[in-house]
Amino acid sequence: MRQDIRDRSRDLLRDDKLQDNLRRALGHTLDRRAALVAENPGWAELRDRARDLRDESLRRLPELRAQVERQVRGRGGGFHFCRDAAEARARVIEILDRAGAVEVVKGKSMVSEEIALNAALEARGIAVFEGDLGELIVQLRGERPAHITAPALHLDRRQIAALFRRALGQDVDDDPVRLAAAARRFLRPHFLGADAGITGANFVVAESGSVVLVENESNIRLATTLPRLHIAITGIEKLVPRLADLAPLLALLPVSATGQKASAAVSILGGPRPSGEDDGPREFHLVLVDNGRQALISDPILRPALRCIRCGACLNVCPVFQRIGGHGYGAIYPGPIGVVLARALLGRSDGAHAFACSLCGACDEICPVQVPLSRLILEVRRRAQQDAGVTAERMAHAAFAEMAQWPRLFKMALAASRAAIRWWPRWFSTSLTGGWTDLRAWPRPRRDGELRRRTGSGAT
């Protein structure tokens, strides 16, 4: 099994600045979320409705896909279904080429990260500008997002100010308002001059063929209205049957994602500008990407992962994510939900990600659509061990299971281990268990005399 997450975690844990940034950013979000959930007596019921809705969508996906295709085409938009990342990249490039587009502004989109769209566009000579502040920051740093909804949460404003001075040549201090103004000064000409806007989609409504986008910075509004071409690219699982379904989903999403009751803007976009009207792009395309999703839907156990609405709450609450951030995982989908998505959509099968989890279950509790995350993580572990075949670890567990069939032998082994642990020297246990005993003493049989003295009991 690859040890890359462990290697990175050592450096990340020693980075005091990063630890501080993660703690502060995630702590604020979780506190705000908790306060909003506490004041909403209908939260549990909302979660049930949202789960049922997402399951309905997954069940009816082929039908909803046909419906959205009719709707989008009926209004003069382009509809594209792409089986994998390569096909999706090629299709987007084809659309841009046909429109003669050489400059693109983007709204934040995890699917575009999943299919590595920016690199493909740049290789084609197309200039790409991320319009979301966090995404712009990681783009300027040459990094990938550290979180699915808060791409730059690993940085604080001083680091961002230094970046803007260096990369944008702007003389800014670390005041957040002035930092946002600096980003705006840099981006505004690109919003005005770009040939195309590329966004993701939080949801796609089948009955109306509309693309729903949730944001706080209104950069998506600019990217979808100013350029003459708008391409929305997202996973097929983001389909929902009805406009009314948005009510529970939009109530859960901002609370879970950022601890906001509502986001600053929700756009429900219907396609290209109708003739005789002044607003909207002249050309619109919806690109739905499969890239492993159909296989996941057919998977009886892992399927609920596709209920996910990408709020990132499971990342925020995960004690491992809180310590290593998204970059620690080395996958664009990190944290609990990333265990399934990285395997199913990014082809990461080594299981390293699935074992970077203490099975604490905090993710199960927070997920707004009730993805049974820790159950799915156990399943990915099981499959990873199955794929790994006969390993020393499997042999050890097989030997243990065999020994457990023989109570007398088992009890003797327990007694022997009790004695060994009590007496063996530290260098021996360290060499036996690697890093484990460097960082913590080997568990010792408790001194029963101590227990007796302190509690007046404990005799066995």
Partner 1 sequence: MAGPRIALFIPCFVEALAPATAGNLRRLCDRLALDWYQPREQTCCGQPSFNAGFWREAARCAAKFLTDFADADAVVAPSASCVAMVRRYVELAALSSEQRAAAIEIGRRTHEICSYLVDVLRIVDVGASYHGAVAYHDACHALRGLGIREQPRALLRHVRGLDLRELPGGPQCCGFGGTFSVKYPEISASMADARLAALEATGTATLVSTDLSCLQHLGGRAERRGQPFIGFHVVDLLAAQGPV
Binding of partner 1 at residue 431 (CB under 8 A)? Answer: no
Binding of partner 1 at residue 324 (CB under 8 A)? Answer: yes
Which residues have C-beta within 8 Å of that of residue 137, sequence separation ≥ 6? 151, 152, 155, 160, 163
**Residue 380 DSSP class:** H
Q: 30: closest CA among 373, 265, 305, 318? A: 318
Q: Residues 223, 105: contact at Cβ < 8 Å? A: yes
Q: Using CA atoms in the order 367, 372, 377, 379, what is the torsion angle rounded to 10 degrees?
A: -160
Minimum distance between the CB of residue 446 and partner 1, rounded to whole angstroms? 5
**What whole-number distance in Å separates Cα of residue 452 and Cα of residue 405?**
34
- For partner 1, the closer CB: 4 or 174: 4
Binding test (CB under 8 A) with partner 1, winner from 119, 398, 412, 432: 398
Binding test (CB under 8 A) with partner 1, winner from 357, 369, 371, 376: 357
Binding of partner 1 at residue 76 (CB under 8 A)? Answer: no
Q: Which amino acid is at 351?
A: G
- For partner 1, the closer CB: 28 or 411: 411
Beta strands in 99-258 (DSSP E): 103-106, 127-130, 196-199, 203-205, 210-215, 229-235, 239-240
Minimum distance between the CB of residue 405 and partner 1, rounded to whole angstroms? 6
Number of residues that bind partner 1 (CB under 8 A): 73
Question: What is the per-residue binding string for partner 1 in 367-396, x denoting contact by CB under 8 A?
Answer: -----------x--xxxxxx------xx--
Stretch that binds partner 1, among 178-186, 187-195, 287-295, 438-446 (CB under 8 A): 438-446
Residues 302-321 within binding reach of partner 1 (CB under 8 A): 319-320
Minimum distance between the CB of residue 9 and partner 1, rounded to whole angstroms? 5
Minimum distance between the CB of residue 435 and partner 1, rounded to whole angstroms? 4
Minimum distance between the CB of residue 30 and partner 1, rounded to whole angstroms? 10
Other CB atoms closer than 10 Å to residue 190's CB: what's the count? 20
Binding of partner 1 at residue 189 (CB under 8 A)? Answer: no
Residues 8-27 within binding reach of partner 1 (CB under 8 A): 9-10, 13
Helices marked H in 312-368 — which ranges? 313-317, 321-324, 335-344, 352-355, 362-366
Minimum distance between the CB of residue 142 and partner 1, rounded to whole angstroms? 26
Other CB atoms closer than 10 Å to residue 439's CB: what's the count? 6
